[in-house]
């Protein structure tokens, strides 16, 4: 692990809403209500550039909803957030992606009846051949396609999927699909990768390799946010942890701060008792 990264976070106070030296994403007053239920209610949150931030919390804490809001898949009732200094409120999801903030899904969305390679190529942005008329004129895009294919092959090699490149994505195992989804997201060349439970449903043998890929993203200079509800998985690789419960940020800090935080322990134990009656 590079020396610099822990240093950046070491100096920061472990307090909800604390400001960071170089935030890539800043969230202000984002709220989302479903009927009478307030699923997300985040006053202020900053995500530091170039580190792995884990977003944890018990089931139903609003983690995925929060993700959906930030990436334009859902619209908040209130609130503002800026990515690289640009406000993203009300921006459609595909434009969010084009600005360099790419996400994956909790339930893997491998495009089953597309080949692994087609899945990868889809991730490339700015493709000339994706316009209707240019599509008819192959020489206009064949070079770009070849470059993208080469880049996709590199990524597939790194994610150990290169042998499967001509298989349908639907033929891959669950873990391989997770890997494919992550590799595909990298085709976008993002500056911030948002992973929604990348470890869910993956067999334990693959978890280590997945975690390795996540840390590799940071080491290449990307910022990573990932959602996880299993605290143990998180502690090993994250530089910073944000804890969500009932839609609010109840704690944030280094993994060591969070492990000993009473509010977090309460949230994990308490909510699992309260929740069924509330729904």
Partner 1 sequence: MDFEAIFGSALRSALGPQAAVYALLAIGLNVHYGYTGLLNFGQVGFMLVGAYGVGISVATFGLPLWVGVIVGLLAGVVLAIILGAPTLRLRADYFAITTIAVAEVLRLLFRSGPARPITGGPFGLQSVANEFYAINPFTRGIRMGPINYTTQVSWSLVVTWGLVALATLLVALLMRSPWGRVLRAIREDEDAARALGKNVFSYKMQSLVLGGVLGSVGGVMFAIAGSTVNADSFRPQITFYAYAILILGGAATRIGPIVGAIIFWFLFSGVQVSVRQMQGSDLLPGFLSGANAVGASALVLMGAALVLLVVFRPQGIFGDPRELKLDA
Partner 2 sequence: MSARVRAFALSIAVLATLMVALLAPAIAALAPAAAAPLDAATGDALILAQEDDEEPAAEEDEDEDEDEDEAEASVLFGTFRNADGPVEGVQLTIAETGGSDLGEAVSGENGQWEFEVPGPGDYAVTVAALPEGVELRDPDNNTVEVTIGTGRRAVPLALGEGAAVSGKVALFLQQTLSGLRFGLIIAMTAVGLSLIFGTTGLINFAHGEIVIIGAVVAWFANIAGLHLVLAGAVGVAAAALTAGVLDRGVFRPLTRRGVGLFQLLVVTIGLSLVLRFIVLIFFGGRSQPYAQYAVQQRISVGPFATTPRDLVIIAIALVVLIGVATGIQRSRIGKAMRAVADNRDLAESSGINVERVVSVVWIAGGALAGLGGVLYGTMFRVSYDFGFQPMLLLMFAGIILGGLGTAYGAMIGSLVVGLVTELSVVYFPNELKTAWALGVLVIVLLVRPQGLLGRRERIG
Judged by the rule CB under 8 A, the positions of this chain that interact with partner 2 are 35, 68, 73-75, 90-92
**Strand 192-196 with 223-228, pairing:** parallel
Residue of 20, 32, 63, 103 that binds partner 1 (CB under 8 A): 103
Q: Minimal distance in Å, beta carbon 191 to partner 2?
A: 23
Q: How far is the CB of 244 from partner 2 (least distance, A)?
A: 19
Query: Cβ(169)–Cβ(111) under 8 Å?
Result: yes
CB nearer to partner 2: pick between 96 and 267 = 96
* Of the residues 26, 64, 65, 71, which one makes contact with partner 1 according to CB under 8 A: 71
C-alpha 83/C-alpha 119 separation (Å) is 26
114: contact with partner 1 by CB under 8 A: yes
Scanning 82-90, 183-191, 234-242, 264-272 for contacts with partner 1 by CB under 8 A, the matching segment is 183-191
The Cα–Cα gap between 70 and 82 comes to 9
Give DSSP secondary structure letters for 198-246: TTTT--HHHHHHHHHHHHHHHHTT-EEEEEES-HHHHHHH-SEEEEEET
Tokens of 48: 């530091």
Out of partner 1, partner 2, none, which partner does residue 135 contact, by CB within 5 to 8 A per kind? partner 1
Report phi then psi at 68, rounded to 5: -60, -40
Contacts with partner 1 by CB under 8 A lie at 71, 73, 92-95, 97-98, 102-105, 109, 111-114, 118, 121-123, 125, 127-132, 134-136, 138, 141, 145, 168, 170-171, 184-185, 187-188
């Amino acid at each position: 692990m590079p020396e610099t990264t822990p240093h950046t976070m070491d100096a920061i106070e472990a307090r909800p809403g604390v400001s960071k030296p170089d935030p890539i994403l800043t969230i202000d007053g984002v709220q989302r209500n479903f009927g009478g239920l307030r699923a997300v209610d985040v006053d202020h949150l900053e995500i530091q550039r170039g580190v792995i931030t884990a977003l944890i919390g018990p089931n139903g804490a609003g983690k995925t909803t929060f993700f959906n809001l930030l990436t334009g898949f859902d619209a908040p009732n209130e609130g503002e957030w800026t990515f690289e200094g640009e406000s993203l409120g009300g921006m459609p999801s595909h434009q969010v992606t084009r600005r360099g903030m790419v996400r994956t899904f909790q339930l893997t969305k491998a495009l089953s009846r597309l080949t692994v390679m087609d899945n990868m190529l889809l991730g490339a942005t700015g493709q000339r051949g994706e316009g209707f008329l240019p599509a008819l004129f192959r020489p206009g895009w064949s070079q770009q396609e070849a470059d993208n294919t080469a880049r996709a092959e590199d990524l597939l090699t790194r994610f150990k999927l290169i042998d499967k490149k001509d298989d349908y994505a639907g033929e891959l195992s669950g873990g391989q699909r997770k890997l494919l989804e992550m590799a595909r997201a990298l085709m976008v060349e993002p500056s911030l990768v948002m992973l929604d439970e990348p470890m869910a449903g993956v067999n334990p043998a693959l978890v280590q390799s997945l975690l390795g890929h996540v840390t590799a993203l940071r080491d290449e200079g990307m910022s990573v946010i990932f959602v996880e509800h299993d605290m143990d998985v998180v502690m090993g690789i994250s530089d910073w942890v944000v804890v969500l419960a009932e839609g609010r940020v109840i704690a944030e800090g280094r993994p060591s701060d969070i492990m000993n935080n009473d509010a977090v322990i309460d949230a994990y134990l308490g909510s699992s008792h309260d929740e069924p009656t509330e729904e």
